[in-house]
Structure 1
Amino acid sequence: MTVLDDNILRVKGKIFRAMLIYLMIIIIIIYVMRKNKADVILQPYLIERKILFITQ
């Protein structure tokens, strides 16, 4: 493996990871927006759980 091949692989890995994160965020946003219509009452509870999940 040359240095150039290594760099290309590293960049591809970073792009792939960024795309995965981006897709996950979009899926979460769509899911939350669809749930919001049904779970307006549970909203504060869901937000609390998300904050707890993020801080863990």
Structure 2
Amino acid sequence: MSQADVSQAGFARLSGVTARQVNNWCRWATMLALALRELSVEGLTILYDELANAAARPH
């Protein structure tokens, strides 16, 4: 958010969501970026396949 010069609270107001939701998105995005930096192409492929299979299973 800082590159756009908008706070999380400001972005939440502009987006019509809560500041907590924006904060959660930012935390998930940070964790995803860190994971992607650490995983190999093979590791990413395995992770993608596992997530796709989990999403396809009935809940």
Normalising by structure 2, report the TM-score: 0.45
Higher helix proportion (structure 1 or 2): 1
Q: Larger C-alpha radius of gyration, 1 or 2?
A: 1
* Relative contact order, higher structure (CA 8 A, sep 6+): 2
